[in-house]
Amino acid sequence: MLRAAGADFKPDRAWFIVPEPVIRRWASLLISWTCAFAATGLVTSTHLATAQTAPTSAPIAFNIPSQPLGDALNRYVEATGLDALYDTSLAAGRVSGDVRGVFAADEALKKLLSGTGLTVEFVAATTFVLLPAPADQQAVQQARSPEHRRYYGLIQAGITDALCRSRGARPGRYRFTAVLWIASDGAVRRSRRIGSTGTPDADQRIDAALRNVRFNEPPPTGFLQPVLILIVPQGPEVVRGCEWP
Concatenated DSSP letters for 99-148? EEEEE-HHHHHHHHHTTTTEEEEEEETTEEEEEE-HHHHHHHHHTS-HHH
Q: Which of 180, 182, 178 is nearest to 197 (CA)?
A: 178
Give the integer Cα–Cα distance in Å for 188 and 198: 24
**Omega prior to 19 cis, within 30 of 0:** no
The C-alpha atoms of residue 154 and residue 187 are separated, in whole angstroms, by 12
Return d(Cα 105, Cα 59) in angstroms, integer. Answer: 7
Residues 158 and 177: their CA atoms lie apart, in Å, by 16
Residue 209 region, left (φ>0) first, then alpha (ψ -120 to 50), else beta? Answer: alpha
What is the structure's pLDDT at 127?
78
How many other C-beta atoms are found inside a 10 Å radius of the C-beta of residue 127? Answer: 21
* Architecture in CATH of 60-138: 3-Layer(bab) Sandwich (3.55)
Would you state the pLDDT for residue 87?
65
| Cβ neighbour number for residue 236 with a 10 Å cutoff | 5
Residue-level pLDDT at 4: 27
pLDDT at 111: 97
Full pLDDT tens readout for the chain, 245 residues: 222 223 333 332 222 333 332 233 333 333 333 222 323 333 323 233 333 445 656 899 999 999 999 999 999 999 998 878 776 777 889 999 999 999 999 999 999 999 999 988 776 777 787 777 765 555 455 456 788 888 888 888 888 888 888 888 887 777 777 878 889 999 998 887 877 888 899 899 999 999 999 999 999 887 767 677 777 666 554 445 566 55
- Residue among 116, 109, 77 nearest 95 (CA): 116
What is 6-42+145-231's CATH number, 3.90.550, 3.40.1580, 3.30.1450, 3.30.1150? 3.30.1150
Q: Where in the chain are the domains?
A: 6-42+145-231, 60-138
| Helices (H) then strands (E): counts for the chain | 7, 9
